[in-house]
């Protein structure tokens, strides 16, 4: 069954946790879709985990459309959310609507996600008015890494916690269909989840949220270097890949690969004739 804005809302109402993972390509999306994940996010984290940038800021609309289209081709039942990259919605409301439309029309996404609270409510309203579902993103919003002075947990002081609650209510009022809560204290995420009628999806926000999202490279053990405290490694796919690649190198160098079963046959008479013609007897 296709996951939609309404099925995800029903999951919140019935207490059935929503599962979301990031994906950036067709094959991974297809596997996730077959596993039954509710939603795939083409996060602008692709800048870091797929393209090797230091943060998400260099990601372009063209990058997002390219990867969103690949994911959409693999995701049959999954609700596909595409991130709006840095500076694709900050300059003007008009440009934001045009860019959101491109992620739907050219990328095949079911919704777009953008970062911010009260400051982006006019943008959320305009995109929703164009019949495009919007997922909001509050807390440790990576596009604000320079403004925050690093990737730091948000909402810990009384004032910051109050602002986050107010922002959550404002984005809901503006028409957001869901909100990602990233890098905020679990007890605060719990309160926000109870106050909102729309689903909350946590990442580093505890298990009181209506659902969870993780970057797939992190949860499958593919990330190189440091991972955040909130990441759980559900598999060691990196180890599996390293073993497979090393075995391939060893077997190719030693001549074990390709074996008989990996090769194509030719009639003995044909090859005998070729050998004769080539003077190889």
- Provide, rounded to whole angstroms, the least separation between the CB of residue 238 and ligand KIV: 18
- Under the criterion CB under 6 A, does residue 204 sit at the interface with ligand KIV? no
Q: Which residues touch 6 (CB under 8 Å, ≥6 apart)? A: none
155 touches ligand KIV (CB under 6 A): no
From the list 28, 45, 154, 223, which residue makes contact with ligand KIV (rule: CB under 6 A)? 45
Q: Give residue for tokens 């800048």.
A: 47
Q: Which of 159, 182, 251, 261 is catalytic?
A: 182
Q: How far is the CB of 134 from ligand KIV (least distance, A)?
A: 14
Q: Does residue 218 interact with ligand KIV by CB under 6 A?
A: no
Asked whether the beta carbons of 42 and 36 are under 8 A apart, the reply is no
CB crowding 216-226: b at 16 or more within 10 Å, else e: bbbbbbbbeee
User: CA 222, CA 125: separation in Å to the nearest integer?
Assistant: 37
**Residue (3 or 212) nearer to ligand KIV, CB:** 212
- Tell which positions 25-44 bind ligand KIV, by CB under 6 A: 41, 43-44
C-beta of residue 145 within 8 angstroms of C-beta of residue 186: no
> Is 182 considered catalytic here?
yes
User: For residues 46-105, which are near ligand KIV according to CB under 6 A?
Assistant: 83
Closest CB to ligand KIV among residues 45, 193 = 45
Give whichever of 44 and 63 is closer to ligand KIV, judged by the CB atom: 44
Which residue from 114, 144, 29, 124 is spatially nearest to 77, judged by alpha carbons? 29
- Asked if 18 touches ligand KIV (CB under 6 A), the answer is no
Of 21, 71, 97, 180, the one binding ligand KIV (CB under 6 A) is: 180
- Residue nearer to ligand KIV on the CB measure, 182 or 190: 182
* 23: DSSP letter: -
Distance of CA 77 to the CA centre of its chain: 16
Strands (E), the chain: 18-22, 39-42, 79-83, 111-115, 134-139, 178-182, 200-203, 211-214
Active site residues: 182
Residues that bind ligand KIV (CB under 6 A): 22, 41, 43-45, 83, 180, 182, 203, 213, 215
């Amino acid at each position: 069954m296709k996951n939609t804005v309404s099925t995800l809302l029903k999951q919140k109402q019935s207490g059935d946790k929503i599962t979301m993972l990031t994906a950036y390509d067709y094959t991974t999306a297809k596997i996730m879709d077959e596993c039954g994940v509710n939603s795939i996010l083409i996060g602008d984290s692709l800048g870091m985990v797929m393209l090797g940038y230091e943060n998400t800021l260099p990601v372009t609309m063209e990058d997002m459309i390219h990867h969103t289209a690949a994911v959409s081709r693999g995701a049959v039942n999954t609700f596909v959310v595409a991130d709006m990259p840095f500076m694709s919605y900050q300059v003007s409301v008009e440009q934001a609507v045009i860019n959101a439309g491109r992620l739907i029309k050219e990328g095949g996404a079911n919704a777009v996600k953008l970062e911010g609270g009260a400051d982006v409510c006019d943008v959320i309203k305009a995109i929703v008015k164009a019949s495009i579902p919007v997922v909001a993103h509050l807390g440790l919003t990576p596009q604000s890494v320079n403004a925050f002075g690093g990737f730091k947990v948000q909402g810990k002081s009384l004032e910051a916690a109050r602002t986050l609650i107010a922002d959550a209510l404002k984005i809901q009022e503006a028409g957001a269909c869901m909100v990602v809560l990233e890098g905020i204290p679990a007890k605060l995420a719990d309160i926000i989840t109870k106050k909102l009628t729309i689903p909350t999806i946590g990442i580093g926000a505890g298990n009181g949220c209506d659902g969870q999202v993780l970057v797939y490279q992190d949860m499958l053990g593919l990330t190189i270097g440091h991972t955040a405290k909130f990441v759980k490694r559900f598999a060691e796919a990196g180890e599996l890949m390293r073993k497979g690649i090393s075995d391939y190198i060893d077997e190719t160098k030693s001549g074990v690969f390709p074996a008989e079963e990996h090769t194509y046959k030719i009639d003995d008479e044909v090859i005998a004739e070729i050998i004769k013609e080539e003077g190889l007897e």
